[in-house]
Amino acid sequence: MNIAKRIWYKSHMDIGTKIKTAREALGLTQGQLGELCGWEGNSQPRIAGYEKNKRQLTPDGLVLMAKALRKPITYFFEDAGTELISEPASSLLTDTVTGNTEDIELLKRIIAKVERISSDQRILIDPEQKARAICALLQTELQNKEESSDATVQATVRALSI
């Protein structure tokens, strides 16, 4: 599995568990959490889908979820890279270089966008926050198969800089 897919997979698998853990710690039902997020109608199946990793949150949805659960957005990405960091750097480099050139271009584009927007908007973001923003945007782009808009990148960067 190439590095982009491994980053997406690891962060994707942790978000549902984190949502459920935080929701239960607050003593909320899935329906109550959906209401706090501002989602109309019966939101219980929607929340259940997120918790079981059968549905993906958009960056904007992740911001709503973080606020409803009273967590910083970085909560969802804590330890997401632990498994990757423990691997020998050479294996990641090999996978990246001999893997898919499109993945490298995708990562380069996302990194450039995050750096440009954080600079243009004068948003202070440390290397860890930048890495988390890149992982979140990578996950979204791989899922949606389309490039993130500047507004989405800006919302993600702002949410992570809080």
Residues 55-87: tens digit of each pLDDT: 888 777 888 888 899 888 777 766 644 443 334
The pLDDT assigned to 86 comes to 39
Domain containing 48 — which CATH number? Answer: 1.10.260.40
The pLDDT assigned to 151 comes to 84
Q: Are 103 and 96 in contact (CB under 8 A)?
A: yes
Burial of 35 (0-12, 13-18, 19+ CB in 10 A): middle
* Closest to 36 measured CA to CA, from 20, 51, 23, 54: 23
Question: CA 45 to CA 3: how far, in whole Å?
Answer: 32
Three-state DSSP state, 57? coil
State which residues form the domain around 85: 1-162
The pLDDT assigned to 49 comes to 92
- How many structural domains compose the chain? 1
The pLDDT assigned to 93 comes to 39
* Closest to 153 measured CA to CA, from 60, 67, 16: 60
The pLDDT assigned to 98 comes to 40
Q: How many C-beta neighbours within 10 Å does residue 72 have?
A: 14
Amino acid in position 73: I
Low-confidence residues in the chain, pLDDT < 50: 1, 8-9, 80-99
Contacts by 123-131, CB closer than 8 A, 24 or more apart: 123/157, 123/158, 123/161, 124/161, 125/157, 125/160, 125/161, 129/74, 129/157, 129/160, 129/161, 131/81
What would you measure as the largest C-alpha separation in the chain, in angstroms? 49
